[in-house]
Amino acid sequence: KAGVTQTPRYLIKTRGQQVTLSCSPISGHRSVSWYQQTPGQGLQFLFEYFSETQRNKGNFPGRFSGRQFSNSRSEMNVSTLELGDSALYLCASSQTPTGGSGYTFGSGTRLTVV
């Protein structure tokens, strides 16, 4: 079966712009979590959606938001981009909330803010 699909794979944006990242989970998985990965901070949890409801949120500013659609696809939005937002953004889907049964990760979206 198809894996977790993240689009786009690479993005270059200018400081102050906004960006939307997309994630399609594995068929049948209703939980989608987003992580930010940087060399300095490692893997940081952003938020998790389960059946279109945000279940958990990490310690990120309100500029980071997300949503989940009825088909479980999820989008993440970052507004007013800052240089420090440059990172690999990973989407992870799981059958049970928050990866309790283990995550399946996408390949990520590499965001570069210039």
* Closer of 71 and 101 to other proteins (Cβ): 101
Decide if residue 4 touches other proteins (CB under 8 A): yes
In the complex, the smallest distance separating the C-beta of residue 50 from other proteins, rounded to whole angstroms, is 9
As a whole number of Å, the end-to-end CA separation of the chain is 37
* Closer of 90 and 113 to other proteins (Cβ): 90
* Closer of 56 and 80 to other proteins (Cβ): 56
Decide if residue 90 touches other proteins (CB under 8 A): yes
